[in-house]
A and B are shown apart, each in its own frame.
Chain A
Amino acid sequence: MKRIIPLILLFIFLVSCSSSGQGGTDAQPQSYIENKGSDTIVNLALAWAEQYQMDYPNIRLSVTGGGSGTGIAALVNGTVDIANASRQIKSNEIDLAADKGIVPVEHIIARDAIAVIVNPENPVTKLTLQQISDIYSGVYTNWSEVGGEDRPIVRLSRETNSGTHVYFLETVLRLGVKDSDTLFSTNTLLLPSSEGIIIEVRQNPNAIGYDGLGYVPHDLKVIAIAPEAGDAFILPSVETVNSGTYPIARDLYMYTDGEPTGAVKEYLDWIMSAQAQEIVRELGFVPIN
């Protein structure tokens, strides 16, 4: 029994040490902003957070990915201050938020083009939106049907919690038709990350995938897209997105609970500034103004 007492004393000593240590770092006043969601936005959000923390050292920003659905779910569950989303919030998500007393407020923070990518060995260079829709819904199963070699088509997509997945479904598979019920072919591979899609497209000449333009490496082939058969085929770029000629470009969003106040408001105001929007351009996204 006697041997235990020094152990207890040591334990108390250690606990008091560590708590006094924490007290030291807390001396400086700090605001903490939790930021989570879209994997499309995560690099941009990280670049912003780094710059912002350099300029305003009393603000701490924590940025994590996981997908737009994940970010919005976290906002609904009250665990983050800002949710990043590459799609607009859905009505059932607004209902769920209302049940928990949370009012999501939307902020458009940048624009993004979705690039359709194939392996460089694939001779196909251009497709119409209708052809891409038919490829993903399973109408076409061989590249020879869209002017390529006699190879099976392997469709790659992000998981269903990705905002890019939902945007692609609505804008490309359903061609923007609201009450369409076209779905991804069941044998579409659902990969958990952008990186997974890029690795597979890089090594597999049968594959077709899609990803935010800012994420596409130079060794993959980007497909030129025509909105309708007979229109010009357009490659994605800042210019074609801003002029509205590239057909699959979208707004990127941040959501807050109610109108932002305090540190969160200052951060969102800074994001709209020229300095922050210049970072948007550097990362391959399209600035909003």
Chain B
Amino acid sequence: MEKDLNWREYIITRLIKFSGYSAVIFVSLIFFFLLKEGLPTLAEVPLGDLFDLRWYPIESYYGILPLITGSLLVTIGAGLIAVPFGIGTAIYLAEIAPRWVRNLLKPLVELLGGLPSVVLGFLGILILSPTLRVTLNLPTGLTALSGSLLLGGIAIPTVVSIAEDALDAVPKSYRDAALAIGATRWQTIWRVTLPAARSGVLTAVMLGVGRSIGETMTVMMVTGNAPVLATGLADLFSPVRTMTATIAAEMGEVANASTHYHVLFFIGMVLFLISMTVNVAASAVVFRQKKRAERVLS
């Protein structure tokens, strides 16, 4: 019996260890695959051409700058919508709403997160973009703004769900203490609860941004896919082409191991590096804050 238990213990430990390592293994395998397929680009396309302003692969124009700025613009726009709305909703659900409202609203918000992005894209083409064109008097409604609005909508459930969990996990004693020394409800939320839940809220924002920059189907359907360099927020009102839409639209067409194929993987590498930077930066901030919090408490 004793033997049997040890043996089982051994297997279970190993399995859990393997699951722990598997994420690391998969990420590094993906990264090495991207490197293997993407790095030949640097030998085939001169750097000056690669960071040029024109993307027209069938005539060997491989300038990826418009695609990078396109993705960044749509993501920033989505962030400007999803972060305030998402955190606002999370605060309402965790701090203000009565229990029954929260129990009703939170599953609904999470249901919104399960909407297939192609459905949102279709609504975007048929309803959102014509409305934007008419109300804002734009030449066309297929713009970065339509993409940002829909991506904001896609990211909000992620932000709400995680930020609300973080706020909910703040001990009741914090709020009681704040209220006891005479803070108003708003002061308690803004100065005590939200800072206490900071790392969770930041994770929520990060995952929301990650969701937006990686989203493909919706942006491909509504942003117009014109590879024009975006230089400022004013370009939200003109069409853009994102990195994800480019890969999705063109990967099916390329022959294996052609220059175009390598450049598409290179774009994949850039996308990977951007989301990794966002992740590392966010976790560095969380880490620093934790250290300071520990110092204060000790």
User: A66 — nearest CB in chain B belongs to which residue?
Assistant: B252
Once the chains are docked, how many angstroms separate the CA of A117 from the CA of B272?
A: 40
* B255→A73 contact, CB < 8 A: yes
Alpha-carbon gap, A200 to B143, bound state (A)? 12
Contacting pair A186 B255 (CB below 8 A): no
CB of A232 within 8 Å of the partner chain: no
Q: CA A73 – CA B126 in complex, angstroms? A: 32
Cβ–Cβ contact B226 & A152, under 8 A: no
The tally of CB-CB contacts under 8 A between chains A and B is 90
In B63-91, the 8 Å CB interface with A consists of 66
A153 CA / B139 CA spacing, docked (Å): 7
The CA-CA distance from A69 to B238 in the complex, in Å, is: 28
Inter-subunit contact B255/A77 (CB<8 Å): yes
A199: Cβ under 8 A from any B Cβ: yes
Give CA–CA (A70, B249) in the complex, Å.
10
Closest B residue by C-beta to A153: B139
Interface residues of A in 137-183 (CB under 8 A from B): 151-154, 159-161, 166, 181, 183
Q: How many residues of B contact A (CB 8 A)?
A: 34
> Residue A96 at the B interface, CB < 8 A?
yes
Known: A160-B58, A184-B56, A199-B126. A189 touches B253 (CB 8 A): no
Instruction: Let me know if A152 and B139 touch, CB within 8 A.
Output: yes
Query: A residues within 8 A CB of B141?
Result: 204
B252 CB → nearest A CB, Å: 5
Q: Which of B57, B130, B239, B253 contacts A73 (CB 8 A)?
A: B253
- Chain B at the A interface: SS class: loop
User: Is A105 engaged at the interface, CB distance under 8 Å to the other chain?
Assistant: no
Are A186 and B54 in contact (CB-based, < 8 A)?
A: yes
Given contacts A160-B253, A187-B239, 14 further A-B contacts (CB under 8 A): A66-B253, A67-B252, A96-B258, A154-B139, A159-B250, A160-B250, A161-B253, A183-B59, A189-B140, A192-B225, A199-B125, A203-B130, A203-B133, A207-B140
A-B contact pairs, 27 of them (CB 8 A): A66-B252, A66-B253, A67-B252, A67-B253, A69-B252, A76-B255, A77-B256, A152-B139, A154-B139, A159-B249, A159-B250, A160-B57, A183-B56, A183-B59, A184-B56, A186-B54, A186-B66, A187-B239, A189-B140, A189-B142, A190-B227, A190-B249, A191-B142, A191-B225, A196-B221, A199-B126, A200-B142
